[in-house]
């Protein structure tokens, strides 16, 4: 509906412009003389309108969207200079060709070029503004959708829990019982589980969290898995962190890490799980590698991966790349988020 309305607005604007040209420069009479009376007289608007329309949409729908919106100001400036130069040269070449073919214009070539220069600059200003307004509106809409999806995910998560406070109180009771019974492994497992549960409830309500909290959450999860599988289980978690205050949407890493433990663990023949997280000011990269113990089809249909792709599309759109590779016995997943 919004797309149709946008198209309608553009059509109305161009119709109004053409109507003004009909009234102001006598474009109607030029049509009449050229096509009905067969006079070889052309109004300059015949050439200006197609050129200006091409300039407008090339700038607003290509250069602004592909370059300026991604903060590639230098490339946008170069592209705009090239576009404007081509616009002027094309206008000059077309009017020269018409004049050489015997057509007459109500203004001379010099005046036409002056109008072309002024109208081109005006069109660039208007089309840049229109393109930026469109981008702001789309970003606002995507943000609203992301917030709605985040709230929906939060509600679904909370509704799937029996009662978080009840579970915390129960875990505390079991924790103190295990302490009194001198069961250190049970005590540690309960403590890790409590921290893992606390994070989604306390921090999952936010649209973004510091990446350091996500790293701590991953460490708690891995330690809990080691308690289950044994401390000698071959899992490697490497963090290269050059930036401390990066903000990310929560729980983007866990579906990939959970899959590694869910589908890559065999007690009879333990194979290593490698998790490598790199954090810089410009990019966050997570790499997960595990040996497959289930079929490729089972992994590819995992609901967690599907939900992850949907969230990435809403929150980070073109700023994220998720690559999953299935070999015969190895499964790798790599998530890159450009900030």
Residues 9 and 126 in one domain: yes
Residues 8 and 140 in one domain: yes
Q: Does any domain span residue 153?
A: no
Residue pair 201/168 in contact (Cβ under 8 Å)? The answer is no
Torsion sign (Cα): 32, 37, 38, 40: negative
Residues 228 and 140 in one domain: no
**Boundary-marking domain end, from 144, 175, 203:** 144
Q: Please report the pLDDT score of residue 276 as a whole number.
A: 96
Q: Does any domain span residue 281?
A: yes
**Boundary-marking domain end, from 112, 144, 176:** 144
pLDDT tens, the chain, 339 aa long:
566 777 787 777 777 776 665 554 555 556 666 666 666 677 777 788 888 889 999 998 889 988 888 888 899 999 999 999 999 999 999 888 888 888 777 778 888 888 889 889 988 998 899 888 888 888 788 777 777 776 666 555 544 444 555 556 566 666 667 777 777 777 777 777 777 777 766 665 567 888 988 898 898 888 878 877 777 788 899 999 887 778 888 888 988 998 888 877 776 677 889 999 999 988 999 999 998 875 544 444 467 788 788 888 878 878 899 999 888 788 899 999 988
Q: Please report the pLDDT score of residue 289 as a whole number.
A: 93
Q: Does any domain span residue 328?
A: yes
Q: Does any domain span residue 136?
A: yes
Residues 238 and 108 in one domain: no
Q: Does any domain span residue 137?
A: yes
**Boundary-marking domain end, from 104, 120, 144:** 144
Residues 6 and 138 in one domain: yes
Domain carrying residue 258: 224-338
Residues 137 and 256 in one domain: no
> Could you tell me the pTM of the whole model?
0.52
Query: How many separate domains does the chain show?
Result: 2
Q: Please report the pLDDT score of residue 297 as a whole number.
A: 46
Q: Does any domain span residue 207?
A: no
**Both tokens of residue 101?**
């073919």
Residues 107 and 238 in one domain: no
């Amino acid at each position: 509906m919004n797309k149709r309305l946008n198209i309608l607005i553009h059509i109305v604007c161009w119709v109004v412009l053409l109507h003004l040209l009909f009234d102001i420069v006598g474009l109607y009479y030029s049509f009449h003389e050229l096509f009905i009376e067969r006079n070889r007289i052309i109004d300059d608007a015949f050439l200006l309108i197609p050129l200006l329309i091409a300039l407008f949409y090339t700038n607003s729908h290509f250069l602004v969207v592909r370059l300026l919106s991604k903060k590639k100001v230098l490339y946008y400036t170069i592209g705009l200079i090239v576009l404007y130069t081509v616009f002027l040269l094309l206008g000059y070449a077309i009017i020269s060709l018409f004049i050489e073919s015997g057509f007459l214009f109500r203004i001379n070539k010099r005046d036409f070029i002056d109008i072309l220069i002024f109208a081109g600059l005006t069109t660039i200003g208007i089309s840049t503004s229109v393109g930026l307004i469109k981008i702001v509106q789309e970003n606002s809409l995507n943000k609203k959708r992301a917030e709605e999806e985040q709230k929906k995910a939060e509600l679904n998560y909370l509704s799937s829990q029996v009662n978080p406070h009840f579970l915390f109180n129960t875990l505390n009771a079991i924790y103190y019982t295990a302490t009194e019974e001198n069961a250190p492994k049970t005590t540690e497992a309960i403590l890790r589980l409590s921290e893992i549960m606390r994070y989604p409830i306390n921090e999952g309500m936010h649209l973004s969290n510091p990446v350091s909290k996500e790293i701590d959450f991953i460490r708690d999860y891995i330690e809990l898995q080691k308690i289950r599988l044994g401390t000698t289980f071959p899992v490697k978690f490497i963090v290269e962190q050059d930036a401390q205050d990066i903000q990310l949407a929560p729980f983007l890493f866990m579906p990939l890490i959970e899959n590694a433990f869910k589908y890559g663990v065999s007690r009879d023949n333990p194979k290593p799980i490698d998790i490598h997280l790199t954090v810089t000011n410009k990019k966050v990269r997570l790499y997960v590698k595990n040996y497959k113990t289930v079929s490729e089809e089972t992994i590819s249909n995992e609901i967690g991966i599907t939900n992850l792709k949907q969230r990435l599309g809403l929150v980070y759109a073109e700023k994220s790349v998720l690559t999953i590779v299935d070999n015969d016995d190895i499964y790798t997943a790599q998530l890159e988020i450009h900030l």
